Amino acid sequence: MLPVIFGLSGPCLTVDEQSFFKEGNPAGYILFARNVENPQQLRALTDSLRDLAGRDDLPILIDQEGGRIARLGPSHWRAWPAAATLAGLSDSPALADLDRAIARVQCNYEALGLELAAMGINVTCAPVLDVPQPDAHGIIGDRAFAQTPDIVAKLGRACLVGLQLAGVAGVIKHIPGHGRALSDSHESLPRVTASELELAVDCAPFTELADASIAMTAHVIFEAWDAEHCASVSATVIQEQIRQRIGFDGLLISDDLDMKALAGDISDRASAVLAAGCDIALNCWGRLDDMTGIAEQVPAMTPEVAERLARACAPLRVAQPSAALNARIEELLARRESLA
């Protein structure tokens, strides 16, 4: 099995993709708006991916946070609120308000997870555990639940619990923290000059949720730890900070290889994140030439990574669309609104 998650070019598998994926056997797939037309088409696509892999627990990912990061939306699917909007909290909420927010977040993400499960999608790249700083770039912004690490951790936990109840895994991101970045790593390489003490704030939510099954790295340089390499390609950051200090022992996925924060051709980028200690390289764009080059260059999945992947996939399940499932989603959303 290849230690890579690949994207697809369109709403159904091409003949060339079927042949390539069958032979290469990637760890999983990630879907984007270009892969989505309507519920029937989307479920047929995810079924075809499972059939091709011969794995009922094949991880099929999507970026479905809510707010501005949502690959599924009206008119075929519901509109989901951004994390900060859903939390609806001040920086110092009363205990009762925080308890209601925790319950509201859990209801929201269980409902969101059930909607994904009905489409055959079993992993969503949420929650964002980054703690945004006032002078940081707006790429995180309202994608974060709050401005303080303890509240981010509590609401992030509620998100994971809700998703798990739906049979969907959440991906905590962007470990060890993107909240101080002054630029968008999609467009350039952010460099964070904060001290070790300041970075402890960024790490705190990830430490609290270190038992999560999947995490995604940040394409950010943290000068206090490694002034030359961003976290995704830094063995120092991955081993000393993410694995040891934070204590994360789950499946570690790189952020997208195509982001401009990384340098080199796409195959070299894949090799670099894996060599640094990421378990899985994430290649989102579904370009067959790129995927072929990656497959030719990266090593086979190690037994340790295979064990982490199996552990992450064990609780995953998909659901059949039904009136009962839709009624459960509506029940959860009514409960969410009653807690507002």
Active site residues: 186, 255
Token pair listed for 334: 């009514």
Token pair listed for 167: 């049979």
Distance of CA 203 to the CA centre of its chain: 17
SS3 282: strand
Find tokens 């995490």 and name the residue: 215
CA distance 7 to 30: 5
**Rounded to 5°, angle at Cα 79 from 77 and 85:** 155
Residues in the chain: 340
Neighbour-count burial of 274, counting CB atoms closer than 10 A to its CB (0-12 exposed, 13-18 middle, 19+ buried): buried
Neighbour-count burial of 88, counting CB atoms closer than 10 A to its CB (0-12 exposed, 13-18 middle, 19+ buried): middle
What letter does residue 168 receive in the DSSP assignment? -
CB 98 within 8 A of CB 151: yes
Q: At what angle do helices 196-208 and 149-165 cross, to 10 degrees?
A: 20
